[in-house]
Amino acid sequence: MVKVLISDKMSPKAAEIFRERGIEVDEITGMTPEELKACIGQYDGLAVRSATKATAEIIEAADNLKVIGRAGIGVDNVDIPAATAAGICVMNTPFGNAITTAEHAVAMMFSLSRHIPAASESTHAGKWEKSAFMGVELYGKVLGIIGCGNIGSIVADRAIGLKMKVVAYDPFLSPERAIEIGVEKVELEDLLARADYISLHTPITDGTRNIINADNIAKMKEGVRIINCARGGLVVEEDLKAALESGHVAGAALDVFVQEPATENVLFGMKNVVCTPHLGASTNEAQVNVAIQVAEQMADYLLVGSVTNALNMPSVTAEEAPKLKPYMDLAKQLGGFAGQVTETGLKRVLVEYEGQAASLNIKPLTSIILQGLLGPLLDSVNMVNAPVVAKERGIDVTESINERAEDYQTLIRVTVTTEKRSRDIAGTLYGDNRPRIVSIKGINMEAELGPHMLYVTNQDKPGFIGALGSLLGEKGVNIATFHLGRQEADGEAIALVEVDSELDADTIEKVRNLPHVEQVKNLKF
């Protein structure tokens, strides 16, 4: 039975959904890393928020784990490279708390502009210090948004409603999308120079880490105000403190910090800093939404193979998964065949999709082909990490689609270029959705692959088929199917023989020594 562990506190809706889908679920929160490591091996899925740290050590102990689901956006607590190497899909829920986080950023902007936290504390203390809390209007001010994705675009919409001018820096924001949401797309230096307020809504990458630093602060307008409800590592806190003390930055509102939980911080106690304890996603609505989403996504993946909001593999919708299943079987066979007959270093892989196959979501199919191709050559290759492994080894992978069918209604062709030669193999699905090999090295043949296959390439000469059959008979090898193909008379030929069990080394050697044989391979599927 499929089994999931919920290791952080989240809405009971998550466990309800798992149980409704027939998945066994344990809710065990507050475990130490040692306790988690000791029990994680029995689970197929792990659902977390931010408290659980899915480290490389935990992942190494997770023998059966197939998916880690983060109920929220940030996955700083999950070692994605380790999960990818282990073939574990990592998912998040990027939309469940988007409105909540965007609203918190706007609330922080208001609080900073009108000194609301300090004014509230003063008034509670029996003081009446109107002149001490002179604020500024948001109306007519320029808001600079760094990272204008889902949350950033919601903040932009709210700011436009407040009659602010919004400029946005985001390398992935298209000019068309900028026009659609009503912002001006600018470069970072332009944003820094123009913005009265700067709000951060970007993940941490090599390009965004410490983006608010002394150099960039120096490029900002005098009196700028900074809001960060994204990730603590975007801001160099010591540089921000110095700018606040000098007055160059008029104020900052921070919901996130480099070290969390943040019980101490260089910015704490400053009068012009508003701080909250990572409340961006802390509304009842958001917590229910992300719990429901993570449970549904994980259940879909574990039960039907659909992939939603994955960070380390291509997405497959629940509707696509059944349609892709027979093509995945075909892709596995094509990749496995090519990988087992490849004997020298890989340089390039071309995957061509024709006819009906061209209309599918091809990314997962290519991943499965690469898994089969690289598996015989490298250890621990899986559907999740195969594209990464290929890239790391400098293997050029290209996909091609052609919706016009030629000889077959649907066809997938894999062409592998090595240091010495190129070889292609093509397959299709027959009416029963069972995979068939229809071409090897340009030689037409129709073969259904069984668990054990003998692959022989030879020169097309009289007597070879009889010699091969006799040898296998003498060795007590039972032949299930026998498929032949050739380019031309006296040219290169191929024999693809299904046998009942794997041939031993002596039999393979005797086949190799037959006249006119060029290559012999035991193949497993």
Same domain, 77 and 110: no
Q: Mean of the pLDDT values across residues 491-496?
A: 88
Same domain, 11 and 151: no
Label residue 173 by pLDDT band (50, 70, 90).
Answer: confident
Does the pLDDT of residue 305 top 90, yes or no?
A: no
pLDDT value of position 45 = 97
* Segment 148-160, tens digit of pLDDT: 988 999 999 999 9
Contact between 438 and 411 (Cβ < 8 Å): yes
Same domain, 140 and 158: yes
Same domain, 197 and 50: no
Same domain, 391 and 403: yes
Same domain, 374 and 490: yes
Phi, psi angle pair for 320, to nearest 5°: -75, -35
Which residue is listed with tokens 């998964």? 321
SS3 call for 433: coil
- Give, in degrees to the nearest 5, the angle at Cα 332 between 421 and 524: 80
Does the pLDDT of residue 207 top 60, yes or no?
A: yes
pLDDT value of position 378 = 67
Return d(Cα 3, Cα 117) in angstroms, integer.
Answer: 46
- Of residues 516 and 218, which shows the higher confidence score? 218
Please check whether residue 405 lies inside any domain of the structure: yes
Contact between 384 and 88 (Cβ < 8 Å): yes
Q: Mean of the pLDDT values across residues 360-376?
A: 89
Does the pLDDT of residue 379 top 60, yes or no?
A: no
Same domain, 9 and 155: no
Contact between 93 and 291 (Cβ < 8 Å): no
Same domain, 137 and 193: yes
pLDDT value of position 380 = 62
Please check whether residue 192 lies inside any domain of the structure: yes
Please check whether residue 86 lies inside any domain of the structure: yes
166-170, 331-335, 405-409, 450-454: lowest mean pLDDT where? 405-409
pLDDT value of position 374 = 86
Please check whether residue 309 lies inside any domain of the structure: no
19 token code pair: 């149980």
Share of the chain above pLDDT 90, in %: 63
Please check whether residue 314 lies inside any domain of the structure: no
Label residue 302 by pLDDT band (50, 70, 90).
Answer: very high
Please check whether residue 312 lies inside any domain of the structure: no
* Segment 457-481, tens digit of pLDDT: 988 888 888 999 899 998 898 899 9
Return d(Cα 159, Cα 270) in angstroms, integer.
Answer: 26
Does the pLDDT of residue 127 top 60, yes or no?
A: yes
Q: How many domains does the chain divide into?
A: 3
* Segment 35-62, tens digit of pLDDT: 999 999 999 999 999 899 999 999 999 9
Does the pLDDT of residue 383 top 80, yes or no?
A: no
Label residue 276 by pLDDT band (50, 70, 90).
Answer: very high
SS3 call for 178: helix
pLDDT value of position 421 = 82
Same domain, 220 and 355: no
pLDDT value of position 85 = 84
Buried b (16+ CB within 10 A) or exposed e, 389-418: bbeeeebebeeeeeeeeeebebbbbbbbbe
Which residue is listed with tokens 């400029």? 167
Same domain, 28 and 171: no
Please check whether residue 280 lies inside any domain of the structure: no
Share of the chain above pLDDT 70, in %: 99
* 208: containing domain: 98-275
Does the pLDDT of residue 266 top 90, yes or no?
A: yes
Task: Name the residue type at position 260.
Answer: E
Q: 389: phi > 0 → left, psi -120 to 50 → alpha, else beta; which?
A: alpha
pTM for this model (two decimals) = 0.62
* Segment 319-349, tens digit of pLDDT: 788 888 899 999 999 999 998 988 777 889 9
Q: Distances in Å between the alpha carbon of 453 and those of 56, 415, 477, 495, 499?
A: 38, 21, 12, 10, 6
Same domain, 374 and 269: no
CATH (domain of 363): 3.30.1330.90
Phi, psi angle pair for 97, to nearest 5°: -120, 20
pLDDT value of position 432 = 78
Q: 467: phi > 0 → left, psi -120 to 50 → alpha, else beta; which?
A: alpha
Q: Distances in Å between the alpha carbon of 442 and those of 243, 427, 445, 450, 453?
A: 68, 12, 9, 21, 19
Does the pLDDT of residue 233 top 80, yes or no?
A: yes
CATH (domain of 47): 3.40.50.720
Same domain, 120 and 51: no
Please check whether residue 73 lies inside any domain of the structure: yes
Quote the mean pLDDT of the chain: 91
Q: Mean of the pLDDT values across residues 155-176?
A: 93
Residues with catalytic roles: 231, 260, 278
